[in-house]
Structure 1
Amino acid sequence: MSTLTSHRPRPPAQPVTLRARRLPLIALLGIALGALALSAAVVYGAEIGGAFLVIVVGLLLYLVGVYIASARVEGPRQARNRTWSSLIHSAFVLAALPLLSVVWTLLSKGTERLDGNFFQTSMNNIGPRDAEGGAYHAIVGTLEQVGIATLITVPLGVLCAIYLVEYGRGRFAFWIRFFVDVMTGIPSIVSGLFVLAFWVLIVSPYLTATGRPGYSGFAAALALSVLMLPLVVRSTEEMLRLVPAPLREGSYALGVPKWKTILRVVIPTALPGIVTGVMLAIARAAGETAPVLLVAGGTAAINFNPFENNQSSLALFVYQQAGDASKYSPARAWTAALTLVALVLILTIAAKLLARRNRLSR
């Protein structure tokens, strides 16, 4: 009996699988659709919100559904991992929705006046019942004001950052960093008031033949440079600190002076980040309205001279057209806003390509 028992055939062993069970993609899509449907039924049924609330509530229901389904199929550990991954992806989508909404609104409403007349004419002698009129004077003003502000700010900001990183020690460097941090949070209207009180009311009367305060595009450029300077200093300082120390030490070991190491090694290495910071400062300056309104005054005519008489800008043009009572003004405002965004985008792409080309050429 024992012999028969010992030779009894054993049941076949279960195959060992190296693949864990995975939740199929169709199940995730089903959970998402079900969460949105349930959220819409709750929100619209109770009349407590609109489409945005439906998305938020649907996201929460989706996370709960994903965790329950993944825990039953894949296990608690994978369920937590999948839930947190879904939360990260959902946060990215929620952050991108406002940007996509802005882009879609600009493209849908800003193309109505996207014609040759808009870019070739100004608002001079344009009445409320005239459908024509463009932003040529505002485009000229924006390019000149931002260009002058960039020429003033970038050398000062980069040199200040180089001093803070490479040479600055002690109390003096501490106070420079402190005031740069304070200037970062200054409202734009304060910079406009500063330039108005100092340059327009005190300095400009001595520079004009009439002795009267002179509103000009150059004064607006000074106000914009006050806003741009802390951004350029902070971004350049951070990029210079990211340059590895062995690059500097290797240059010093070869007998290269410190100033030449900074010029030929440190700055080229940090150049892409510096360009990014400069373009962020330019984008902020191009979109400011209050400083231009205070010290440049704005005008409906074309003024190519930034050092004399009033001058307009695209941001000021959008502000004025948005508050105008004419039925043709909103279309001009949306097209000017689209033009401003496109102008900043073109400048950013051109600066990035130029920095990349200079880096590759070395």
Structure 2
Amino acid sequence: MILTAGPSITKLEKKYVADAVSNGWNNNWNNYLVKLENSFKKYFKVKYAIPTSSCTGAMHLILKSLDIKKGDEVIVPDTTWVATASAVKYVGAKVVFADIDPDTWTICPKSLKKKINKKTKAIMVVHLYGHPSKMDEIVKISKKYKIHLIEDAAPAVGAKYNNKLVGTFGIAAAFSFQGAKLMVSGEGGMIITSNKSLNKKIKQLAAHGRGNNKKKGTFWIEKIGYKYSMSNIQAALCLAQFERLEELVEKKRKIFSWYEKNFINSNKVKLNKEKKPARSIYWMTSIFLIKEKLKIKIDGSTLSKILRKKGIDTRPIFPSISTYPMWKSKNKFFSKELGKYGLNLPSGHNLKKSQIDYIAKTINNILN
């Protein structure tokens, strides 16, 4: 079976993890955590980086630290992993869904603008599958209406918009290192920000509300917080991956280019090709079936089942999350079409050109 995802683990990762397991205790309990924080701050040119146990936890911490609460509204794209919206519910705020742009599959600025009202406190953009959102338009909107801009950059470490790294456009950003992502730590996340006050609040909340009162001692708790910390061992793995970031991104872009050559003459399939001035990391090469051109009745789910019988694993595009039973929206968004006719193709780091050729040839044969 050709799997959808899979990391690239080298001697460097094994070396760092082995060192953390053997020596990362007592006085060295956070040595890789500190190195990882410093590496992120330097790469993104931000003042603060906070490793977390997950990207979901990272988003929760950001929203909570911005004092977003019941009665407030946060706008999110209708195509994303549910964690983006769940984090909003964790703080008691209302999730407001905006449609996605048909070309980039990221939040549509026009749809976003229509959703803004006096209760809107934040916009959470998602750089879906490693493709940046339309940040020039979205930044203008957030500034005009004085709304916090938060980046769910879970799958987009290294992606750029107008030559600027995603994660550096808003007040804060969250990244994911879950096992299927571009760079992995098994599970884990990272918050980056240059806002001093926000950083202080996030760090306290992530450490069970621990205070800084020396007279009260190390176990003095000032408020209810959470356990959202990353372990030193996870940080060791993550650091090794981060040091190889450009290599990992280039392989993902190479995989996309192999698919692109195979589908270049197809009028039945549209790839998630980057739209300038965006530079995608192509975490997941994905296709959208153009139903008007199909000779057979088929959608993403049906195609996935056929491909599985031929030894090819795939992954569905996220459904329209506003239609989940928690929200029960009856929208007419493009996100519904994408969820029905879209499909993530195998995009693991260790795939070979011959495997990509086989996958694309199989899809073309089925559709033709």
**Considering the TM-score relative to the shorter chain, is it more than 0.5?**
no
Which has the bigger relative contact order, CA under 8 A and spacing at least 6?
Answer: 2
Between Structure 1 and Structure 2, which shows a larger proportion of strand residues?
A: 2
TM-score by length of 1: 0.23
Between Structure 1 and Structure 2, which shows a larger proportion of helix residues?
A: 1
The structure number with the bigger radius of gyration is 1
TM-score by length of 2: 0.23
